[in-house]
Amino acid sequence: MLAAPESREEIDRRLAAFRRSSHASDLWPDIPVETFRAAEAEVARVATEVLRGAAGPVVLRSGLGARALGVAAFQDGMGALLGFWCETGRVAAEADIAATFAIHLEHGRRRMARLRHELERVVAVLGGRGVEVWVLKGMHTAYRYFPEPGARYCADIDLLVRAEDEPAAREVLTGLGLVEARHPHNPRDSAWAPRSAQPVRSLSYDHADGLWSVDLHTSLDRQPFEGLATALGAPELSAGEVWNEYCQPVRVLAQPLLLAYLALHASSHFYSMMQVRLIELVLVARRDFGTDAAKWAAFGDLVVRTASGRFVYPALALAERLLPGTMDRGVLDRIAAATPRRLRRLVKAMTPMSPLRIHPVPAMRERFVWVGSPREALAALWWLVWPREDQRPVASHRAVVAQWRRVRRGLRRMLFASAGR
Q: What is the pLDDT of residues 131-181, one digit of tens each?
A: 999 999 999 999 999 999 999 999 999 999 999 999 999 999 999 999 998
Q: What is the CATH number of the domain that holds 242?
A: 3.30.460.40
Q: Is 274 domain-assigned?
A: yes
* Residue 358, in any domain of the structure: no
Q: What is the DSSP letter of 270?
A: G
Domain of 404, in residue numbers: 365-418
Are residue 278 and residue 387 in the same domain, yes or no? no
Dist. CA 73–CA 60, nearest whole Å: 12
Q: What total of structural domains would you count in the chain?
A: 2
Q: Is residue 356 part of a domain?
A: no
Residue 66 shares a structural domain with residue 140: yes
The answer on pLDDT for 414 being more than 50 is no
Residue 334 lies in a domain: yes
- Specify if 325 maps to a domain: yes
Question: Residue 152 and residue 143: Cα distance in Å, rounded?
Answer: 9
Rounded Cα distance, 208 and 210, in Å: 6
User: pLDDT (tens digit, 9 = 90+) per residue, 259-302?
Assistant: 999 999 999 888 889 999 999 999 999 999 999 999 999 999 99
The rounded distance, in Å, linking the Cα atoms of 226 and 244 is 38
**Residue at a domain's end among 349, 382, 402:** 349
Same domain for 265 and 394, yes or no, is no
In a domain, 3, yes or no: no
* Whether residue 306 sits in one domain with residue 204: yes
Residue 235 counted as domain residue: yes
135 and 233, same domain (yes or no): yes
What's the DSSP call for residue 395? P
In a domain, 359, yes or no: no
Contact 275, 43 (CB under 8 A): yes
User: Are 115 and 215 within 8 A, CB to CB?
Assistant: no
Do 322 and 371 belong together in one domain?
A: no
Q: Are residues 151 and 240 in the same domain?
A: yes
**296 and 371 co-located in one domain:** no
Chosen domain end from 300, 317, 349? 349
| Domain limit, last residue, from 288, 316, 349 | 349
Indicate whether 320 and 404 sit together in one domain. no
pLDDT of the residue at 419: 46
pLDDT for position 417: 45
Q: How far is CA 283 from the centre of its chain?
A: 16
- Distance CA(93)–CA(117), nearest Å, equals 33
Please compute the mean of the pLDDT values over residues 317-334 and round it to a whole number.
96
Amino acid, single-letter form, for residue 238: S
The verdict on whether omega for the bond into residue 57 sits within 30 degrees of 0, i.e. cis, is: no
Contact 79, 73 (CB under 8 A): yes
- Phi/psi of residue 365, nearest 5 degrees: -60, -30
Residues 110 and 52 in one domain: yes
- Of 368, 256, 346, 260, the C-alpha closest to 309 is 260
Q: Within this chain, do residues 144 and 262 fall inside the same structural domain, yes or no?
A: yes
Q: What is the DSSP string of 311-330?
A: HHHHHHHHHHHHSTTSS-HH
- The whole-model pTM stands at 0.90
Let me know whether 277 and 390 are in one domain.
no
Task: Respond yes or no on whether the N-terminal peptide bond of residue 29 is cis (omega within 30° of 0).
Answer: no
Q: Tell me the per-residue pLDDT of 169-220, one tens digit each, with 9 for 90 and over.
A: 999 999 999 999 865 455 566 899 998 877 899 999 999 999 999 999 999 9
